[in-house]
Structures are given as structure tokens and as C-alpha cells.
């Protein structure tokens, strides 16, 4: 064979091999893409809010909602439908219940269109307004309640394989459905749940610890005039007793209060709970057939929301009236779905990088570490794992004015772990202390209150509009007790009105540290005059013998020379951030930025400070 033919044959073989390899790689790539797509398939949930006006006045709009779901579940990949209660308007009118049954029976005809339904206040004859007790359940006669007669769990179980269980009253149920190769739970609760119901719900959650849960109930959130969501009294009760401490509950829906709003809250594990209010009954024709669609978008790691009216879609554009709204309230919420839907109840609190051995309390005041209190206020996690979460408190200010006295900033300090800070805007002008501060009951209940050594660190800044006449002697950190109270508790012969621990700022913008020690000594350490608009790391180190104050790593000149072994505190007393204490009362609200505070029960070296991140 000539060299030319050899080269030609070699090229041909190479081309064939290259084509085969490319095809194989292409096939592998396509297969991999298909596998990824299969493992990250988006799906949709449908939400039907209060239908009471439809059942009473316009059953055709109710049927339009369920018919659209039945016709589009495959195209939209609708895996489940949730009704939020107030199925009817007048519970003693059978005609309304028949209309509701006809509408929801459309979904019952296909096992691929399961749904949950719960009772709203318009759906019950025994209207128990109180509700937060065990008596609600015994005040009802389920056998006489039309909601149970028309939508008993036993009846629904015959057509709905997702209905996995219900309580003895029949008013509370849970469903298990599959989407994106994962099981989900819808926990559908009565409109005002009792303690008995909560015990049942907790048992259900405990029996399914790895299943992500969507909680539906009739009343949880309300919305104010500015469109901001807030907990109702009953909603705060549900948050505090059930939602907050069960990490698997990642989303809630409720109706009852007219309007639409979303609240993104942080639970006790520092993880997001997306909470939504949806209720269009006060809109044109009781909502004009508007429902809500929620898409779980795994490709983009987001939840996509859209309210949509199948009734209006069925009307030609030319025939639609001014109030015929096709869709509204379209928005997305970014969420790491892969992470949020797994590994529940594994708190990161206590495992934070800045949390070192013997940490007694540790708080970061940025948005990432902000939890949600039962009353809806901001709450900051205690990263020491001791449960001393910092809650808002007010000093001579109204709750409605809260935003005027404290705000979150995303400006990151140049050192430490915080991604932002809290701006405290306290005012002590003319001795009229006003402001907002944070407080938490200390975890010293099991200790003697005598700490042998310690390190207190704070990252702070004084704004440009800081003024001595209004802001001097305000406190960054303190314990709410007086020297006299602490000495009496420890049976010592000492007294005074100052708190046993205090980090404050003088009229010259000097930092003052004051602490009471086991030998009854109480002396101040002072910094030099500091600058506005400048971040400072403050460290007070007690080595079991002396207090030493450092500012941005520099030891201050005016350090008390007397021996002060450790610190003497009030076990169980309140830690205060952004306020001081005088004679045991709140005083001297702070004006400035606080990003981070850590109290450690040992003397730390500079290499262990927050600046050594």
C-alpha cells in the first residue's frame, strides 16, 4: 500500500472514530441533561382562596376554577390543589354546599388532581371565636356540621389517595403527594386550631420527619394599609406553637383577611418560611374566579407566584369588562430549594464560625441572622446555641413608630462576620429617653453568676449626626440589674445604681467599660474620643485579675489598675443591647450602628478576636 493510501485510510479510520466518539459524547451529554432535567422537574401547586361568594352568588366561577385545573394539570404539571376555607358563605344553606360539592367534584373525577379543603369561619355552625384552648373541639358536634357532612375525610378518601390521615374531629387532615421525585405534605388545619389540634399536628410531623410541609389554614396573616403582612393574634399563636419550631414547614397559605401579601420569616433554625395571604372575595364579583399558581422552579432555584382567573380567560378579549382582570400579583422568591427541602431541624446555631469554646452569648445584627418573633417583630439569633435570642423592646415609644427608631443596614463592617448592622436611633434629649432596643434573658440561670474571666467584644460605629446633647451616656451593652440588686443576691455588702456590666459612650464620644467583680470592685475603663462614621472593634478582656479595654486592637491608656477578678452578674437577668439600666430600669437608648457582639467566658488573645476572621 502506498504512503498516500495509508494516510488516507488512517484519516478515514480517525474520522470514523472521531464521529463515533462525538456521537457517544453527545449521547452521554443528552442522557446527562435528561437525567438532570428528570431530577429537577418544575411543578405547580394551585391555591383556591375563599370561594364563599361563588357558592352563594356565582357557582359557575367556582366551577371555572376547578375545570381549568382538571383540564390543565398535565400541561402545567399541577401536582396538588389547596382550598383555603370559607367554602361557602352561609353554612346553613344547603344550596351553597351543593354548589361547592359540584365544583370540587370535578377534581375528584381524576386521581391525578387531588386537593385539600379546610373549614373557614363561614363553614362552621359552632362559631368559636376564642379557639386557643381545648374547649373548641368539644363545643362542636361534627355530626351536625355541614362541612363534615359534605366534605368528610372518609368520603374524600374514597377518591383521593393522597389523604393520609385526619384527627378525631375530621376538621384537620394531612395529604402526602409526590412531585419532583419527592414526597410533600399539605397539613390542612382548622380555622382556629386548639391545643388538642396542635398536639395532633405535632404527632403527624414527628411521624414524617423528612417530609417538607406546606401548612394551610384559614387565618394566619393579615395585611396593613401599606400592603405589609403581619401575624394575626391567632397567627402568632400558630407561629410560636407549631411553625417556628418545625423546620420542615417551609411554606404557609391562608385566606380570611381580604387582599394579598407575603411574609418571609426566619424560624428557630434560621431558615426561611414563606407565608402567603391570598383572598380575593372583596374584589369584582367575589374575586371573579381568581386563583393562585405556585411554580417550584428547580432549574432557577426559585418559587414563582401568579394569581390567575380561568373565568376571565374564558371570556374573549373584546367582551371583557373593565374589571375582568386576567392575572395579577406575579413575583418570584429566590430559594435554594435543594437545600431548603431537606435536612430539617439541623440548626446552624452553635456551629457558627465565630462561636468558640466558652461562648456565653453571640449575636450578629444583619438580615441573615434575623429570625421572626411570634408578634412579627425582628428577632436575632443567639449563635452561642444557648437560646438567648434578642427581641425588640421599646422605651417610651409606640409599636407603630418602631421603624422610626431602628432600621436594618446592609453596609458591611470591614471586620467580623456581619453582613450588615442595626442602626439604633435612641434619643435621650432633655432626659426623655426614647428608642428601641434589644433584650434577651441570659443563660446564667444554671450558673452562680460569678464568671472567673471573660471577653466582651462589640463592633460599632457612631453616625455623622451623633450629638452629645441627645446621645451621650447611651449604652451598647449592659445587664438589666443594679449593683445593689446583684450584691443583695450574692449576699455582699456593696451597692450602686449602675448595671453590673456596661459598655457605654460618654459626652466626648469615649467608650466606657464598667463591671462589678467578685471582690466587689467596680471601676471604669475609658477610651480616647472616637470619630464619627468609623467602624470600631471593642474588646474588654478580663484575665481573672484585671480588666483591659482595647479599641481596634490598641490598649487604651485609662485602664483601671485595681484588681477585678472576673465579673459578678445577676443569674437569669436580661442582656440589653442598645440600652442601659439604672436602678434596674431601662435607660439611655443607644444612637449608632451595632453589627456584632460576643461575650465569652474566658480571656481571649487577639488572634481569637472577631477581627481575626
Please tell me whether residues 324 and 402 are part of one structural domain. Answer: no
Asked if residue 536 has pLDDT above 90, the reply is: yes
Please tell me whether residues 161 and 211 are part of one structural domain. Answer: yes
Looking at 132-141, 193-202, 561-570, which range is the least confident one? Answer: 132-141
pLDDT classification of 140: cutoffs 50, 70, 90: confident
* Rounded (10°) angle between helices 94-108 and 59-76: 10
pLDDT classification of 131: cutoffs 50, 70, 90: very low
Ramachandran category for residue 39: left, alpha or beta (phi over 0 → left; psi -120 to 50 → alpha): alpha
Please tell me whether residues 182 and 140 are part of one structural domain. Answer: yes
What is the percentage of the chain residues whose pLDDT exceeds 70?
90
- The pLDDT score that the predictor gives to residue 524 is 93
Instruction: Please state, in angstroms and rounded to a whole number, the distance separating the CA atoms of residues 305 and 334.
Output: 11
Please tell me whether residues 328 and 394 are part of one structural domain. Answer: no
- The pLDDT score that the predictor gives to residue 520 is 87
- Indicate the number of domains in the chain: 2
Please tell me whether residues 315 and 418 are part of one structural domain. Answer: no
Please tell me whether residues 85 and 140 are part of one structural domain. Answer: yes
Asked if residue 226 has pLDDT above 50, the reply is: yes
Does 505 reside within a domain?
A: no
Please tell me whether residues 182 and 312 are part of one structural domain. Answer: yes
Please tell me whether residues 412 and 521 are part of one structural domain. Answer: yes
Does 219 reside within a domain?
A: yes
- The pLDDT score that the predictor gives to residue 128 is 52
pLDDT classification of 135: cutoffs 50, 70, 90: very low
- Asked whether the beta carbons of 566 and 473 are under 8 A apart, the reply is no
Instruction: Please state, in angstroms and rounded to a whole number, the distance separating the CA atoms of residues 524 and 129.
Output: 56
Q: In what order do the strands lie in the sheet with 259-266?
A: 163-166, 173-179, 182-188, 213-216, 249-254, 272-279, 259-266
Paired strand residues for 83 = 48
Closest CA to 596 of 463, 468, 476: 476
Tell me the residue range of the domain where 212 lies: 40-340
Asked if residue 36 has pLDDT above 90, the reply is: no
The enclosing H or E element of 54 equals: helix 52-57
C-alpha cell at 117: 379543603
Alpha-carbon dihedral angle through residues 158, 162, 166, 169, given to the nearest 10 degrees: -50
550-585 pLDDT per residue, tens: 999 999 999 888 999 999 999 888 999 999 999 989
Does 221 reside within a domain?
A: yes
Domain end residue (candidates: 278, 305, 340):
340
Average pLDDT over residues 48-64: 98
Does 480 reside within a domain?
A: no
What is the percentage of the chain residues whose pLDDT exceeds 90?
77
Please tell me whether residues 139 and 244 are part of one structural domain. Answer: yes
Q: What is the mean pLDDT of the chain?
A: 89
Residues 6+ apart with CB under 8 A from 561: 546
- CA diameter of the chain: 113
pLDDT classification of 234: cutoffs 50, 70, 90: very high
- The pLDDT score that the predictor gives to residue 160 is 95
Does 30 reside within a domain?
A: no
- The pLDDT score that the predictor gives to residue 368 is 86
pLDDT classification of 5: cutoffs 50, 70, 90: very low
Average pLDDT over residues 406-422: 95
- The pLDDT score that the predictor gives to residue 348 is 61
C-alpha cell at 486: 446583684
- The pLDDT score that the predictor gives to residue 130 is 44
- Asked whether the beta carbons of 368 and 412 are under 8 A apart, the reply is no
Domain end residue (candidates: 340, 371, 396):
340
Q: What's this model's pTM, rounded to 2 decimal places?
A: 0.77
Residue with cell 459578678: 568
Enter the DSSP assignment of 315.
S
- The pLDDT score that the predictor gives to residue 447 is 58
- The pLDDT score that the predictor gives to residue 198 is 96
Q: 6 or 57, which is more confident? A: 57
Burial class (CB in 10 A: 0-12, 13-18, 19+), 544: middle
Asked if residue 321 has pLDDT above 80, the reply is: yes
Query: In 64-203, where do the E strands start and end?
Result: 78-83, 115-116, 163-166, 173-179, 182-188
Please tell me whether residues 126 and 220 are part of one structural domain. Answer: yes
- The pLDDT score that the predictor gives to residue 4 is 38
- The pLDDT score that the predictor gives to residue 510 is 98
Instruction: Please state, in angstroms and rounded to a whole number, the distance separating the CA atoms of residues 103 and 156.
Output: 14
Please tell me whether residues 314 and 376 are part of one structural domain. Answer: no
Please tell me whether residues 166 and 114 are part of one structural domain. Answer: yes
- Asked whether the beta carbons of 289 and 61 are under 8 A apart, the reply is yes
The sign of the dihedral angle between the CA atoms of 157, 161, 167, 170 is negative
Instruction: Please state, in angstroms and rounded to a whole number, the distance separating the CA atoms of residues 550 and 2.
Output: 87
C-alpha cell at 264: 418571609
CATH assignment at residue 148: 3.60.21.10
CA triple 458-464-479, angle to 5 deg: 30
Residues constituting the chain: 613
Asked if residue 613 has pLDDT above 80, the reply is: no
Residue with cell 439600666: 581
Amino acid at each position: 500500500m502506498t504512503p498516500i493510501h495509508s494516510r488516507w485510510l488512517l484519516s478515514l479510520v480517525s474520522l470514523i472514530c472521531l464521529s463515533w466518539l462525538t456521537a457517544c459524547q453527545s449521547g452521554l451529554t443528552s442522557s446527562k441533561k435528561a437525567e438532570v432535567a428528570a431530577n429537577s422537574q418544575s411543578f405547580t401547586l394551585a391555591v383556591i382562596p375563599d370561594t364563599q361568594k361563588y357558592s352563594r352568588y356565582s357557582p359557575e366561577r367556582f366551577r371555572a376554577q376547578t375545570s381549568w385545573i382538571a383540564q390543565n394539570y398535565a400541561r402545567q404539571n399541577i401536582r396538588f390543589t389547596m382550598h383555603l376555607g370559607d367554602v361557602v358563605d352561609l353554612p346553613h344553606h344547603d344550596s351553597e354546599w351543593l354548589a361547592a360539592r359540584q365544583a370540587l367534584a370535578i377534581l375528584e373525577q381524576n386521581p391525578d388532581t387531588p386537593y385539600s379543603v379546610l373549614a373557614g369561619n363561614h363553614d362552621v355552625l359552632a362559631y368559636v371565636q376564642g379557639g386557643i384552648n381545648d374547649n373548641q373541639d368539644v363545643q362542636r358536634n361534627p355530626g351536625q356540621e355541614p362541612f363534615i357532612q359534605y366534605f368528610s375525610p372518609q368520603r374524600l378518601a374514597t377518591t383521593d389517595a393522597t389523604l393520609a390521615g385526619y384527627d378525631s374531629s375530621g376538621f384537620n387532615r394531612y395529604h402526602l403527594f409526590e412531585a419532583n421525585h419527592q414526597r410533600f405534605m399539605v397539613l390542612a388545619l382548622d380555622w382556629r386550631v386548639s391545643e388538642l389540634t396542635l398536639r395532633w399536628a405535632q404527632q403527624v410531623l414527628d411521624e414524617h420527619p423528612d417530609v417538607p410541609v406546606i401548612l394551610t389554614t384559614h387565618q394566619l396573616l393579615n395585611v396593613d394599609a401599606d400592603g405589609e403582612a403581619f401575624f394575626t393574634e391567632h397567627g402568632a399563636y400558630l407561629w410560636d406553637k407549631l411553625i417556628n419550631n418545625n423546620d420542615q414547614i417551609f411554606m404557609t397559605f391562608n385566606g380570611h383577611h381580604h387582599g394579598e401579601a407575603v411574609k418571609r420569616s426566619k424560624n428557630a433554625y434560621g431558615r426561611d418560611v414563606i407565608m402567603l395571604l391570598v383572598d380575593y372575595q372583596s374584589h369584582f364579583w367575589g374575586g371573579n374566579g381568581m386563583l393562585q399558581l405556585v411554580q417550584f422552579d428547580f432549574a432557577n432555584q426559585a418559587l414563582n407566584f401568579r394569581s390567575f382567573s380561568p373565568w376571565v380567560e374564558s371570556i374573549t378579549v373584546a367582551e371583557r369588562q373593565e374589571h375582568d382582570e386576567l392575572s395579577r400579583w406575579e413575583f418570584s422568591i429566590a430559594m435554594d430549594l435543594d437545600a431548603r427541602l431537606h435536612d430539617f431541624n439541623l440548626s446552624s446555631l452553635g456551629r457558627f464560625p465565630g462561636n468558640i469554646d466558652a461562648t456565653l452569648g453571640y449575636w450578629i445584627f444583619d438580615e441573615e441572622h434575623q429570625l421572626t418573633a411570634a408578634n412579627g417583630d425582628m428577632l436575632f439569633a443567639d449563635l452561642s446555641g444557648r437560646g438567648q435570642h434578642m427581641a425588640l423592646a421599646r422605651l417610651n415609644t409606640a409599636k407603630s413608630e418602631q421603624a422610626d427608631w431602628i432600621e436594618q443596614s446592609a453596609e458591611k463592617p470591614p471586620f467580623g462576620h456581619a453582613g450588615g448592622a442595626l442602626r439604633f436611633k435612641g434619643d435621650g434629649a432633655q432626659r426623655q429617653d426614647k428608642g428601641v432596643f434589644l433584650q434577651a434573658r441570659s443563660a446564667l440561670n444554671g450558673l452562680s453568676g460569678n464568671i472567673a474571666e471573660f471577653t466582651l467584644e462589640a463592633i460599632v460605629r457612631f453616625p455623622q449626626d451623633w450629638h452629645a446633647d441627645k446621645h451621650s451616656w447611651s449604652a451598647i451593652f449592659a445587664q438589666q440589674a443594679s449593683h445593689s440588686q446583684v450584691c443583695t443576691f450574692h449576699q455582699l455588702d456593696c451597692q450602686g445604681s449602675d448595671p453590673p456590666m456596661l459598655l457605654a459612650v460618654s459626652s466626648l464620644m469615649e467608650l466606657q467599660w464598667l463591671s462589678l467583680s467578685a471582690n466587689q470592685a467596680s471601676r471604669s475603663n475609658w477610651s480616647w474620643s472616637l470619630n464619627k462614621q468609623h467602624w470600631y472593634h471593642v474588646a474588654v478582656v478580663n484575665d481573672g485579675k484585671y480588666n483591659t479595654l482595647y479599641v481596634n486592637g490598641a490598649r487604651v491608656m485609662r485602664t483601671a489598675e485595681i484588681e477585678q477578678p472576673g465579673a459578678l452578674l445577676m443569674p437569669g437577668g436580661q442582656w440589653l443591647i442598645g440600652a442601659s439600666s439604672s436602678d434596674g430600669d431601662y435607660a439611655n437608648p443607644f444612637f449608632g450602628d451595632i453589627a456584632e457582639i460576643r461575650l465569652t467566658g474566658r480571656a481571649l488573645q487577639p488572634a481569637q478576636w472577631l477581627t481575626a476572621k
